Amino acid sequence: MRTSVRLFVSLLVAIVVVAYLFAYFEVRAEKRRLKEDLEKRTEIVAESLVETVEDRVARESPKELQKSITRLGDRLAGLAVFDAKGTLEAVSPQVASRLKDVPAAVGQATQADAGRGEFINLDGAPFYVYVLPLHHDNQVEGALAVFHDVGSIQAQSALLWRRTFLRLMVQIVLILLVAFLIVRWSLMRPIARTAQWLRALRTGKAVETVPEFSQEDLFKPLAQEVTHIVKSLEAARAAAVEEARLRAAAEAVWTPERLRVHVHSRLRDNPLFVVSNREPYMHVRKGKFIETIVPASGLVTSLEPVLRACDGTWVAHGGGDADRETVDAHDRLRVPPEDPHYTLRRVWLSKDEEQGYYFGFANEGLWPLCHIAHTRPTFRASDWALYKQVNQKFAATVLEEMEGSEQPAVLAQDYHFALVPRLIKEQRPDARVAIFWHIPWPNPQAFGICPWQRDLVDGLLGADLIGFHIQAHCNHFLETVDQALESRIDWERSAVTRRGHLTLVRPFPISVAVPETGPDSAAAPKSVYLERAALFKSLGVQATFMGVGVDRVDYTKGILERFQGVERFLEKNPSYQTQFTLVQIGAPSRTHIKRYHDLMAEVESEAERINWRFQTASWKPIVFLNRHHTHSEIEQYYRAADVCLVTSLHDGMNLVAKEFIASRDDEHGALILSRFTGAGRELRDAVIVNPYDIEQLADAVRFALEMDPEERQARMRRMRRVVKDHNVYRWAANLITELSEIRIEKREQLQPR
């Protein structure tokens, strides 16, 4: 009896102590979580208000400022504004009577020029205050303090204590009852009942009968159940490992949020500067109003999350007719307009500069030079002079923006800025400089046509990192360097050392963003058929099968060859006449250049010729839409088409192919893809063709239309997996990762030019 009482009391004390400790740590963890959540919410509120308050502090009188703070803080626990010396300038009524002393976080925030937070007591009531410095002309002029009532946390903690205590009391009573029965009964029954109870816990079934065991089997039930528990734990551990694997696989899909976190962890506090010819936001005048336009560009999609993550600066040509009206005195503005996260710095070009640098050297010289499309490049000394002048202007702008920043990162875009890397690196050796060349790089014999190839290649080698779409373009560039300049090439590392500076050359295949969700698969085919019929009706055509082509009207895109392939397809397969129509969306491009102006006339003439040959009263084989279309307009055709034709004669990547795949969440449709595109290296399940081979192109159209539906779906599913796993956010992440790992060189390591 004494042993039973001692055992009972010991068990009671042990259970109470364990229960108390469990409750204590559970409540403490919950309280910590609530505090962290409150800190994050307060920080978000403060960041959303700081620009508004900075503006009001700069232009409002103290009385007006007090009214503004009262109005802004009417839904908050408290809001206060202090000057740089910590003197209270305005405070919301909620904390006015409680705020006796200046919170220590105010002085810390203004001195460190960074946000600071602390938990304080205001007149006996617990509050959390988060302070952000206020700036004027890049100087700290004061601080904004946002208060949040902590009383709710204490109330929730007390409620959690009560709930936990009651739950534990019930558990203690039940456990003690079981323990009491175990103590009173014989040793055999407690062991058996324990085994039964453990079995019930394992299987989730109630215990109804207790089996009887012989004396020699005293520990057999317990041993068996312990064995089962071990097996269950092993199974649970295996399930956890599998879940972790699946979660890791899911995380392989890059998203804007994951990219934001990745960029922030890689760049930390180092500023990022992007240089491109095209700006991410353009302002144009529509009557009496100014409209903000986002140019249709994969570049904007890929780089904006990066700049949002690090509050970077995007330097670009201001080409909108209302761009000058929307910038400040330093030609800057914060974007996006609805939720500013980074700075757009615009560079102004004269008509002569734009004509010579952009339309001249870049697009009449470098563009045809790099694309093997049998169009002779045109090189003029005057265009080259303006190209150098504009590159110097952009480099000077970037250097101006970089003043005062330590170890900045620069990411230049495309063939417009081949000289910028060297110009920046010579002035700022501490900067990490990268350039991504979005078009192909030809073999060294072809590039050697350019009279200024040495200057161009030397300018590019000023970068720490040069990116191309595919390895073949990297190899061509290294071969060009080998023939054009004195340098040391590490072929294994794909790197060049020139004048003591190391440049890495890497492939980064660019891609598109894939929507997270799509329509229900069962409903998708029906909706596609209806959408296709509606589109044909809007075009004034009656047909069954739709092909789609989406391109700028450019001689590298193989539009004429595509039309001829469709013509030959209809010749060889008369049954498809009146049944198949190709919708060619052709956006006018660079019409200032004679070759492009003439090409538009050729495309229109070829479409008219083929239509005249085959068309009927209600059908024609080619519908040519020669205007700019929005992405949403184009996506309708992507989703409705039976086949998408990408027949580029030479292309660095070609995002149309990937956009088509990304749009087909119904996993239907076929892709005919030129083998002369970078995308052809990744999308192996497309129908790969030589666009110069008109017979092969015609046969490919028939093969795509008559492909077994299961094979078509399997091909599309595999291509969607490729595009989703290697989307545009992963491209940006890989580029930033490679750039961030570059070792910073000292100024004396770089030899002057």
Residue 468 pLDDT: 97
101-151 pLDDT per residue, tens: 888 888 888 888 888 888 888 877 888 888 989 888 888 888 889 988 887
Q: With contact defined as beta carbons under 8 Å apart, do 556 and 650 qualify? A: yes
Phi, psi of 677 (to 5 degrees): -110, 155
Q: Are 349 and 390 in contact (CB under 8 A)?
A: yes
Whether residue 680 has pLDDT greater than 80: yes
Which pLDDT tens digit goes with each residue over 477-510?
999 999 999 999 999 999 999 999 999 999 999 9
Tokens (6 digits) for 625: 């839409």
Bridge partner residues of 131 (DSSP):
116, 145
For residue range 727-738, list pLDDT tens digits in order: 988 999 999 999
Task: Give per-residue pLDDT as tens, 305-317.
Answer: 788 878 899 999 9
In this predicted structure, what is the pLDDT of residue 199? 60
CB atoms within 10 A of CB 643: 24
pLDDT of 45 reads 84
Residue 255 has pLDDT above 50, yes or no: yes
3-state SS, one letter per residue, for 239-295: HHHHHHHHHHHHHCCCCHHHHHHHHHHHHCCCCEEEEECCCCCEEEEECCEEEEECC
Reported pTM: 0.66
pLDDT, average across residues 545-551: 96
Binning pLDDT at 50, 70 and 90, where does residue 188 land?
low
Greater model confidence, 593 or 441: 441
Residue 519 confidence (pLDDT) above 60? no
- For the chain, what's the residue count? 753
pLDDT for 53 equals: 83
Is it the case that residue 522 has pLDDT exceeding 90?
A: no
Q: Output the average pLDDT for the chain.
A: 85
The more confidently predicted of residues 654 and 752 is: 654
Say what the pLDDT of residue 222 is: 53
Beta-sheet strands, E only, within 588-713: 622-625, 643-646, 670-674, 687-689
Give the pLDDT score at 747. Answer: 47
191 confidence band (pLDDT: 50, 70, 90): low
Residue 367's pLDDT band (cuts 50, 70, 90): very high
Residue pLDDT, tens place only, 581-632: 999 999 888 888 888 889 999 999 999 999 999 999 999 999 999 988 888 8
Mean pLDDT is highest, among 248-252, 288-292, 413-417, for 413-417
